[in-house]
Amino acid sequence: MPDYTRPNAGDLTPGIIPTAPSTSPGATGRPEGDPDRALGSDAAAAQAGPAWVPVTVIGLVVVLLLLVPAGSRAVVRAGRRSRIRSGVQPADAAWREVVATAGDLGLPVDERSTVRTVVAGLAAGAAFADPGARAALDRIRDDVERERYGRVRSVASPAHVDARNAPTSEGAEAEQGRRARIARDVDAVCAALRRDAPPWRRAAAILLPASLRPAIGPVVGRTTTPGA
């Protein structure tokens, strides 16, 4: 039969046999000719999500883990400041904060030493060449000795008179003034300690405060509960 009598006979290339559309399953599990195959690919891509999401989540977890010690240290510091303002033994709370700050900054503090010995060691820092910082450190030392032992081994100024020996109304006012002065002294001493430390040590004191470790629980000159 002549070729012109057969439909599409001129479209055939000699030697090539036409084939039907492939029905083998592709990456989506659907045949290539399936009109829903493209929809399956889009759904799989949507389920996978953006590639940056896992990285962002991991980054946030790392940041939160780094902030946990800093947050815990801030809570402890706030508790001590609350004791200074209105709690018992405000000078002891101030001393604990000074010792903790020194430990966070990597300063060697021997827990077996007396308060007076530790103060002498801290005062050797360059920042305590400032008379104001040194005076604040000495006042904290005297306050701690007065609270612990009921005496001060140095000449007390009128500001150091025990408020408990004053009349009731005047004693309460003097006690509030003493607590406010102790709070200022703690700020001055801790600021001086930080000035003496290099930047990387100050950063480590914030992110990984050594004072939170159990080994630094005992306070210098007195065995106490860690973190108090």
- At position 21, the amino acid (one-letter code) is P
Q: What is the predicted pLDDT for the residue at 8?
A: 58
**Phi/psi at 222 (5° precision):** -165, 130
Contact assessment for residue 6 and residue 12, using Cβ atoms and an 8 Å cutoff? no
Alpha helices, H only, the chain: 37-48, 52-86, 90-104, 115-122, 131-149, 168-196, 199-207
| Residues in contact with 95: Cβ distance below 8 Å, sequence separation at least 6, in sequence order | 115, 140, 144, 219, 220
pLDDT tens track for 159-207: 444 545 545 777 888 899 999 999 999 999 999 999 999 999 999 999 9
Q: Whole-number mean pLDDT of the chain? A: 76
- Is the pTM value of this prediction over 0.85? no
pLDDT of residue 155 exceeding 50, the answer is no
pLDDT of residue 6 exceeding 70, the answer is no
